Amino acid sequence: MEKLWTPWRLEYIKSPKSGSCIFCDLPKDQQDKENRILHRGKHCFIIMNTFPYSNGHLMVSPYRHLGCVTAIDDEETNELWHFTKHCVSVLRKTYSAQGFNIGLNLGKAGGAGYAEHLHNHIVPRWEGDTNFMPVLADVKAMPEHLSAGYDMLLPQFQNIPS
C-alpha cells in the first residue's frame, strides 16, 4: 500500500478554527490573489490549497454552502467536474504531473476539514514523490512557494473553455 505522508499539515490540524467557512468567506472577500482563487465560474470556483499535500494542490468548490454531494444540483455538478478536468489538464502541462488523487471528503468522519462545504481536491502526483524526509525527519520539502505557484497557474485559468 502506498502512503502519502503529509506531516506539515499538522499546522492546519492544530490551528484554531474560527467557525467560519473559507469556501463561503474567501470568494466574498474579492482578494483573489491573497486568497489564491484562480478562477470564478457561475456556480463554482477554483482555489489553491493553503496546506497542500503537494505543489499544485487545487480545490474546486461550489459557492453554495452544501455539505454533501447529494445536495449539489446539475449545473453545479457539471461546472465542478468541468473545472476539475481543466485543473488536471493544467497541472499535467505546468507541473508535468504523472498522476492525480482526485476526490471529495464527505463529512468529518470522511476526513473533510470543512465538512459543511463540499469541495473537490485535485492533488498532482509523480512517480517517486515520497522520500525519506517526511518519514525520518517529519519534514516535507515543498520546492515552490504558494505565491509563485499562483502566479504560474493563474494565466492557465483566465479563459476556461466551456
Q: What is the pTM of this model?
A: 0.82
Alpha-carbon distances, residue 33 vs 1, 69, 83 (angstroms): 37, 28, 19
Is 39 part of the annotated catalytic residue set? Answer: no
| Tens digit of each residue's pLDDT, the chain (162 residues) | 455 555 555 665 566 656 789 999 999 999 999 999 999 999 999 999 988 888 999 999 999 999 999 999 999 999 999 999 999 999 999 999 999 999 999 888 888 878 889 999 999 998 876 644 444 445 455 557 788 899 999 999 998 887
Q: Which member of 39, 86, 119, 121 is catalytic?
A: 119
In angstroms, the CA 89 to CA 112 distance is: 25
All domains in the chain, ordered by first residue: 23-157 (3.30.428.10)
User: By the 8 A CB rule, do 49 and 91 touch?
Assistant: no
